[in-house]
Structure 1
Amino acid sequence: MGIGSFFRDQLSKIIEWKDQPSDILVWKFPSVNDEIKNASKLIVSPGQGAILVYEGKVVDHLSEVGLFDLETDNHPFLTTLLNLRTNFESEHKLKIWFYRTAETTNQGWGTPQMIKYMDPFYKIPVELGANGSFSFVISNPLYLFSNVIGAKDTYTVAEARQLLQNRFPEHLSSVLAQSSISYQQIDAQLPALSRLIKEQLTSEMNNLGFELTDFKLNGTVFDQSTKERIGKVADITAETMAAGEGGLSYVEMEKLKALRDAARNEGGLAGAGLQFGVGMDLGKTFNAAKDETSVKNDSDPVARLKMLKSLLDEGIITQEEFAAKKKEWLDKL
């Protein structure tokens, strides 16, 4: 060490976090042997706070902006001279960490793997991925410093983002299960889901020393197997509703389709050994244990006409046959 460096190290200095990078949350001020001399000035700028650790203990926490005078047991010149035998190191160590108080905004997040939940409408397991954005601030710097960061010289936004977003999937899955929102409704409910997830995350974020100032669920992606399962269930549901409109059950509709296929593949109903009367009395032919709906259909002209229209739509009968039978039934009214 040259004589010039020796004297410079013992003089008072200005301690500040200049040109604060946006990707750093916590930064330790570099000092030679951690010897901060008397009469040094500490500047805390807007968007910053400072934590002072003296002889291994947090002794002060500065959250307000301003200029502060530092008093320690390290006096200029005297310290080095008195501690010549310990390589000019003082036994009194003061370390200063600056931290960001400004909000960190628009951080992207995404689920690393698919989230599973039971769809309340289709009653089948669903797997989805999700993504969005969030903003946060350091709400409890002393807890964060003591329990999360430790003695690291720097703590980055990327490290905090990873820490926080690892908690998101569990709460997303919980909200989906509790809210009873179906696969087909999720896109329309993104704002409501975002609000519910943020509420659930509040306590856990506070326990880490952070506060979520914003949380958004921007979109979901469903795996291929889920799409296929939903597609099959949706088709069955739609067909069941269509069958109901025609006075048929889903099973009866499937048998009706079998009639249609037979008619097309074997040259018509006659080729399949089937007659028009079979189609007109579906309730008796398709369901040996005819239920109340079938009985109602036999006596209700409107239901019978709906059944007749279903036969036409499925290609079991022709337009001419439909018109003839419709006229016959209407003439009886």
Structure 2
Amino acid sequence: MGLFGNEFRNVVEWQESDDTVIFHKWHNDEIKKGSRLIIRPGQDAIFLYNGKIEGIFQDEGSFDIESQIIPFLSTLKGFSFGFNSGIRAEVVFVNTKEFTVKWGTKNAVMLPCAGLPGGLPVRAFGTFQMKVSDYVRLIDTIAGVKDTYSVDDVKTRVLSILDQLLMKWIGREGKDMFHLQASAYDIGKGMQEDLDMELLKMGMTVTGVQISSFSYPQEIQEKINAAAGYQMVGDMNRYQQGKLADGLDQPGGAAGSTAGMGFGMAAGMQMAQQMMQSMQQPTQQAAQQTAGGKHCPSCGAAVQAGDKFCSGCGQKLEVAAFCPSCGAKVNGGDRFCSGCGQKLS
């Protein structure tokens, strides 16, 4: 606010020092003859007389009140200034810009969730935008009793109902409680509708609501992250083997407790079994290959010593012979196997 001059005139203006102020009321004993009204960019001026709106001025600039303002006032059009008297009026300057306000839930909102009797505790954070839309309501509900009103005053009112609105719009349409961010836009649009209806009561409108993030308690978030990791693993057996190996390699970790020792023993036994199975596989395959002493060179099926044709694929066998010990192919005149040295009958 600025007030300059002598007893014959004054300057009616609002010099903004805080851009979070929504409106500011200029009032003095009276507006003198020769006074001027100054409206800066982003401001509107509302003249009040006896508590009622006399005129709203939205053009920026400097105006002579007697010649340029009074002729447009509702009940003061014929008012004439005296030599030492003026108008006992008030002027409310309104900030016309759109305000962006950060918000966050004061406490965790307990949302109904299957398997959690007490509900799932969730916090949310974001922003909303608002601006003055109805000067009459603004004057009737707020400016009539206050000299100034700021964004923090509105924020206090919004936060008082935010938790209920969040619970209302998350609970609609069966939202996935563990993937709320995917529904953030729809939830924000629903909250905007309700907040707008609430702020319209005091002459303001909500032009947007955004939800930047949802947060869960740490222990729940860790389980969500773990579940996501399991879904990304293609081979669960390999993943479990890796986890077992990690457990064995951790110094002073789980192995330092009784439960950790049991985990380490179980992991060692499982890994030993897996190693034994891996070692046995080549032996079993070799045994299968050498069963029966001779094998078909085409399909590998076992053949008897006197067979001339393979019973599996019909391959003629008299052109080749096989070592009864290792199954290596031998020439007809060989007395010993060139693969393992076995004497051939």
TM range (shorter): 0.5 to 0.7
Which residue in the other structure is 1:141 paired with? 135
Structure 1 residue 223: Cα displacement: 2.6
Deviation by residue 1:179-219 (Cα, 9 ceiling, x = unmatched)? 32223212333233323322332222222321222321111
Q: Please, which runs of 5 or more residues in structure 1 have no aligned partner? A: 1-6, 80-89, 243-260, 269-313, 328-333
> What is aligned with 1:69?
69
- Give matches, 1:91-130, under 5 Å: 93-105=88-100, 107-119=101-113, 125-130=119-124
Using a 3 Å threshold, how does the CA distance of structure 1 residues 181 and 124 change in structure 2: closer, same or farther?
Answer: farther
SS in 1 for 2:179: helix
2:12 aligned with 1:18:
no
1:64: how far off? 4.4
Distance 2:209 2:13 in 1: 32
> How far off is 1:104 after superposition?
1.6
The aligned counterpart of 2:53 is 58
Paired position in structure 2 for 1:279: none
Specify the code of the residue in structure 2 equivalent to 1:180.
G
2:160 pairs, out of 150, 157, 166, with 166
Cα separation, 2, equivalents of 1:56 and 1:74: 20
* Structure 1 position 224, deviation (Å): 4.4
* SS of residue in 1 equivalent to 2:107: coil
For residues 70 and 40 of structure 1, what CA distance do their matches in structure 2 show? 11
Q: 1-side partners of 2:145 and 2:195: how far apart?
A: 27
Deviation of residue 24 (structure 1)? 1.5
Mapping of residues 92-241 of structure 1, within 5 Å: 93-105=88-100, 107-119=101-113, 125-224=119-218, 226-227=220-221
Q: Which has the higher helix share?
A: 1
Change (3 A) 1:126 1:57: same
Query: For 2:92, what is the secondary structure of its paired residue?
Result: strand
Residue pair 1:120, 1:181 contacting (<8 A) in 2 also: no
- The answer on whether the counterparts of 2:27 and 2:89 sit within 8 Å (CA) in structure 1 is no
Report the Cα distance in structure 2 between the residues aligned to 1:166 and 1:64, rounded to whole angstroms: 36
Matching residue of 1:42: 37
Distance 1:187 1:223 in 2: 16
Cα RMSD, aligned residues only = 4.2
Structure exhibiting the larger radius of gyration computed from Cα positions: 2
The alpha carbon displacement at 1:97 in A equals 1.0
Paired residue secondary structure (1:113): coil
2:308 paired residue number: none
Distance 1:199 1:69, change over 3 A: closer
Could you tell me how far 1:220 is from its partner in structure 2? 1.6
SS in 2 for 1:12: coil
Q: Which amino acid aligns with 1:128?
A: V
Contact 1:117–1:126, Cα closer than 8 Å, also in 2: yes
Q: Which residue pairs with 2:254 in the alignment? A: none
What letter is aligned with 1:61? I
Q: Is the 8 A contact 2:158 2:195 kept in 1?
A: no
2:25 — aligned with what? Answer: 28
Can you list the C-alpha shifts for 1:114-140, whole angstroms capped at 9, x where unaligned?
111123698872111111112211111
Q: Does 1:8 align with 2:6?
A: yes
Q: 1:196–1:218: structure 2 CA closer, same or farther, 3 Å change rule?
A: same
Q: CA deviation at 1:27?
A: 1.0
Residue deviations 1:58-97, cap 9 Å, x none?
Answer: 3223344454423655724343xxxxxxxxxx7x621111
The answer (yes or no) to whether the contact 2:96–2:131 under 8 Å persists in 1 is yes
Contact 1:119 1:180 in 2 (8 A): no
1 CA distance for matches of 2:88 and 2:160? 36
Which TM-score applies when normalising by structure 1?
A: 0.58
TM-score by length of 2: 0.56
For structure 2, the 5+ residue unaligned runs are: 237-261, 285-345
Over residues 251-286 of structure 1, what are the superposed CA-to-partner deviations in whole Å (9 max), with x where a residue is unaligned?
A: xxxxxxxxxx9xx77x99xxxxxxxxxxxxxxxxxx
8 A Cα contact 2:192 2:206, kept in partner: yes
Preserved contact between residue 39 and residue 70 of structure 1 (Cα < 8 Å):
no
Does the 8 A contact of 2:25 with 2:91 survive in 1?
yes
Residue 307 of structure 1 is matched in structure 2 by: none
Look up the SS of the partner of 1:51 in the other structure: strand
